[in-house]
Amino acid sequence: MASLQSTIFLGAAFLLAAAVYFRSLDTAGSRSATTHLHFFMHDDYTGPHPTAMRIVSGRSLLLPTASSNDGGAANNDSATAGSTLSLLSSPRQFGDVVVLNNALTEGPRGDSARVGTAQGFAVRVSEGGIVSHLTMHMVLEASEHRGSSVTANGRIDMDAKVRESVIIGGTGKFRYARGYMLTRNYDYDLARGGVVEIDVYVRH
C-alpha cells in the first residue's frame, strides 16, 4: 500500500513539474518581441578598396595543366598568365566563391550614416542563372543594437525582384533570434556590385 502511495505521489510530482516547465516556456514566449531592421548594403567589387571579392572561380578547376613538351617554361608561364587574366575577367559561374565585408548604412548613398557591417560568403550553386547560397552576419554598430548581430542563411536568386532568406540566429540583444530577411537590388549590377536594400524581421 505504501509503495502504491509513493508511486502515485511521484507521478503527481512529475506532472506538476512538467506543467510548471511548459508554463514557463509559454510565459517566456509571450515576452518575445519582433524588431524590423532596415538598411542598405554597399557591395563593391571595384575601386582601390573592394569590399566584395571572388576568391575562387569555378573555371579554376577546369584549367589545362602545363606540359613540359609543349613549348617550354616560357610558353607555360605565358599560358598561365593568360588563364589567370581570363579568370579575373570571366563572368560569375557555377562553383564561384565570393567573400563579403560590406558597409551597412541608413540610406542608399555612400556617405549615409553607417549602422553596421555585413560579413560572410556566397557560393554559386546553379549552372544556369545567378543563384547563390549565402551565409551573412550583420554586425550592428549603432543605436540601441550596437554590439549585437543577426545571421542570415538562404538561396539568393539574382533574377528575382525580392529574395527571401532565413534568420537563423543572433548575438547580444538578438540571441536566439529567428525571422527572415528580404533583399532587393537598389542600384546593382553583377560586374561592379552596387547597393542592395535589406529588410530584416527578427523575433527575439
DSSP 76: H
CB environment 181-197: b (16+ within 10 A), e (fewer)? bebebeebeeeebbbbb
| Best CATH choice for the domain 34-60+90-203 from the list 3.30.70.270, 3.40.50.300, 2.40.480.10, 3.40.1390.10 | 2.40.480.10
Note the pLDDT of residue 97. 94
Note the pLDDT of residue 127. 84
Note the pLDDT of residue 63. 56
Domain spans of the chain, in order of start: 34-60+90-203
C-alpha–C-alpha distance, residues 123 and 99, integer Å: 9
Quick count: other Cβ atoms within 10 Å of Cβ 152? 26
C-alpha–C-alpha distance, residues 66 and 148, integer Å: 50
C-alpha–C-alpha distance, residues 191 and 117, integer Å: 22
| 204 residues of the chain, pLDDT tens digit each | 555 555 554 455 554 444 444 444 444 455 789 999 999 999 998 878 899 999 998 876 555 554 445 554 445 554 444 444 444 455 668 889 999 999 999 999 989 999 999 999 999 998 888 899 999 999 999 989 999 999 999 999 999 999 999 999 999 999 999 999 999 999 998 778 899 999 999 999
Note the pLDDT of residue 61. 57
